[in-house]
Structure 1
Amino acid sequence: MIRVGLTGWGDHPLLYSEVTASKDKLFDYTGHFLVVEVDTSFYAIPSVDNVRKWCEGTPSSFHFVVKAYQGMTGHLRGDIPFETKNDMFNAFIKCADEFKRHGKLAMVLAQFPPWFDCQAKNVQYLMYVRQQLKDFDVAIEFRNQTWYAENFREQTMDFLRTNKFIHTICDEPQAGAGSVPFYPVATAKKALIRIHGRNIHGWRNTGNTENWRKVRFLYDYNREELQQLGQNIKSLQSQTDEIFVLFNNNSGQHAAKNAKELQNILAIKDDGLAPKQLNMFEGEL
């Protein structure tokens, strides 16, 4: 099974009706896709009340990929806003448990920063994450090429398999050590593909942080590129049971359009969408 969706539901105006554009974007989103990445959890762990509201307000077949809090993956500079590291993980586990209790947790996504390279201490930390999140499906996304170096890539995949981690396959610019190749290998019964765009000039932070964040994911995939992605996704089906594809190229609001185009290429007809705005894209694709 292949599920296609987007990272976040709050910034995709093509999906929203005029009536609900300002108050119920998640509901409108579920009229188009059956999976979404909760990216706000990277910045602050959602409350159980919010998680319950999201779960109860979405169709029964809808799933959430929940991004791990930044303090869990080494992105947070300075001290974590918790008494201990265990307190931080326990707060996140409480949130993830609520998604799981509703049967709507696809997986937890642990995205590591570019400076998290392939060395023994980082392998040990991944094992610590596995121990902490032992009751969850966890996807690992690397942002450092050393994990895919010729002398390490097979060991990396074997390590992910042994520890029951989902390998996150990324389509992104090839811009040096802080980016990873598209490596379509599944290591679990689920696979995650995150589509970041191919804006090689915007991928690196050149000093203007605010502008960099705006342009980093500025990319509109053309039909040929999406067809090639579609072929790679189809070939991955022989390795795994479920494939989740998330488009993250939304700086120019291209993610929803590209995701719809990929669904068309793959002939995906989702069952169980919310009964609203189903035909918005008719005649456009």
Structure 2
Amino acid sequence: MGDILVGTCSWTDPALVRSGWYPKGQRDAEGRLRYYAERFPVVEADASYYALPQERVSRLWAERTPDGFTFDVKAFSLLTGHPTRTAVMPDGLPPDAGDDGVLDAVWARFAEAVAPLRDTGRLGSVLFQFPPWFRPGPRAEQMLARTARRTEGWPVAVEFRHPDWWRPGQAEATCARLADLGMAAVAVDMAQGLPASIPPVTPVGDPRLAVVRFHGRNTSWGRGSKEDRFRHTYDDDELSGWLPRLRELAGQVERVHVLFNNCCGDASVRAAERMSELLREARSSV
């Protein structure tokens, strides 16, 4: 049975910092991470999607967390085909994804930045969350193949946001392709019945890792502000409903990362705390 690690998709989200979850005296950058790492074994670093991470910062993360702590690092927007602002590009390079020279420079900077986490055994995965318009087909296949070549030797997890990847008739092929590329599959919990809803599947692409990201069940997904999209408080029934599925995943892979992305106030950390409690209770009752 693989390990199930529970955490959140950020420890620096402004709403979380304002919520009061961090105690006085531990609200600076170092204090927040140390406090978080005392309570959870895994976290997703999402700031690296918005701007290229820095090697110096990753080294500090490694120094401020205990052995065994795990970071999932979200891939920079340009590397997943998302629009990217010139202001966050290195050395004034244009955000032209069709320019191999620009991509070479960005990939090199990203690899340099995550090296301290890899070197200290703290890198759980690099999360490639592809955009909603990234759908199955030849162009997507080429992008996945290029990503696999660029990340050879890295732990990689892939989240598809176009529902066709996990539709009946396509899901098996999606799992098989991720397995061929050595990439872990990301399952999601989200509101169902929307045009952009990802089916509630728990795929396995890599026997080393599976990731489940809990986005909340707000029906404003795909529109409105960040607060609108992610505002959701998970109740015990919603969390308990996942316990058999998480145990099933843990029976197929070495590790399962369970990450809460309902990032409004302290909702994500409270859900992660409660999910951890429910998992402990389930283990003790076996």
Q: Please tell me the TM-score bracket, short chain as reference.
A: 0.7 to 0.9
Which consecutive unaligned segments of at least 5 residues does structure 2 have? 94-100, 282-286
- For the residues of structure 2 that align with 1:78 and 1:37, how far apart are their CA atoms? 22
Amino acid in the other structure paired with 1:10:
T
Q: Are 1:41 and 1:68, in contact at CA under 8 Å, matched by a contact in 2?
A: yes
Structure 2 counterpart of 1:61, from 60, 63, 68: 68
Q: Are 2:260 and 2:272, in contact at CA under 8 Å, matched by a contact in 1?
A: yes
Is 1:148 aligned with 2:166?
A: yes
- For the residues of structure 2 that align with 1:178 and 1:110, how far apart are their CA atoms? 18
- Where in structure 2 are the equivalents of 1:90-239 lying within 5 Å? 90-188=108-206, 189-200=208-219, 202-205=220-223, 212-239=225-252
Which consecutive unaligned segments of at least 5 residues does structure 1 have? 207-211, 269-285
Compute the displacement of 1:176 (Å).
3.6
- For the residues of structure 1 that align with 2:33 and 2:233, how far apart are their CA atoms? 23
- For the residues of structure 1 that align with 2:195 and 2:137, how far apart are their CA atoms? 14
Amino acid in the other structure paired with 1:266:
L
- For the residues of structure 2 that align with 1:185 and 1:148, how far apart are their CA atoms? 9
Q: Are 2:49 and 2:75, in contact at CA under 8 Å, matched by a contact in 1?
A: yes
- For the residues of structure 2 that align with 1:149 and 1:59, how far apart are their CA atoms? 40
**Secondary structure in 2 matching 1:42:** helix
* Matched-pair identity in %: 30
Compute the displacement of 1:253 (Å).
2.5
**Secondary structure in 2 matching 1:84:** helix
Q: Are 2:21 and 2:266, in contact at CA under 8 Å, matched by a contact in 1?
A: no
Amino acid in the other structure paired with 1:31:
E
| 160-169 vs 180-189, greater mean Cα deviation | 180-189
Amino acid in the other structure paired with 2:192:
Q
- Where in structure 2 are the equivalents of 1:37-76 lying within 5 Å? 37-76=44-83
Partner of 1:84: 102
Q: Are 2:188 and 2:213, in contact at CA under 8 Å, matched by a contact in 1?
A: yes
Q: Are 1:15 and 1:32, in contact at CA under 8 Å, matched by a contact in 2?
A: no
- For the residues of structure 1 that align with 2:203 and 2:222, how far apart are their CA atoms? 26
**Secondary structure in 2 matching 1:184:** coil
- For the residues of structure 1 that align with 2:181 and 2:21, how far apart are their CA atoms? 38
Partner of 1:3: 5
Aligned residues: 263
Amino acid in the other structure paired with 1:18:
K
Compute the displacement of 1:75 (Å).
1.2
Compute the displacement of 1:229 (Å).
1.2
Q: Are 1:185 and 1:239, in contact at CA under 8 Å, matched by a contact in 2?
A: no
Q: Are 1:55 and 1:102, in contact at CA under 8 Å, matched by a contact in 2?
A: yes
Gap change, CA 1:56 and 1:225, over 3 Å in 2: same
**Secondary structure in 1 matching 2:73:** strand
Q: Are 1:192 and 1:245, in contact at CA under 8 Å, matched by a contact in 2?
A: yes
Compute the displacement of 1:152 (Å).
1.2
**Secondary structure in 1 matching 2:258:** strand
Higher helix share: 2
Compute the displacement of 1:49 (Å).
0.7
Compute the displacement of 1:86 (Å).
1.3
**Secondary structure in 1 matching 2:242:** helix
Q: CA RMSD in A?
A: 1.8
Q: Deviations over 1:206-241 (max 9, x none)?
A: 5xxxxx212111001111111011221112122111
Gap change, CA 1:91 and 1:179, over 3 Å in 2: farther
Partner of 1:240: 253
Q: Are 1:144 and 1:177, in contact at CA under 8 Å, matched by a contact in 2?
A: no
- For the residues of structure 1 that align with 2:168 and 2:162, how far apart are their CA atoms? 13
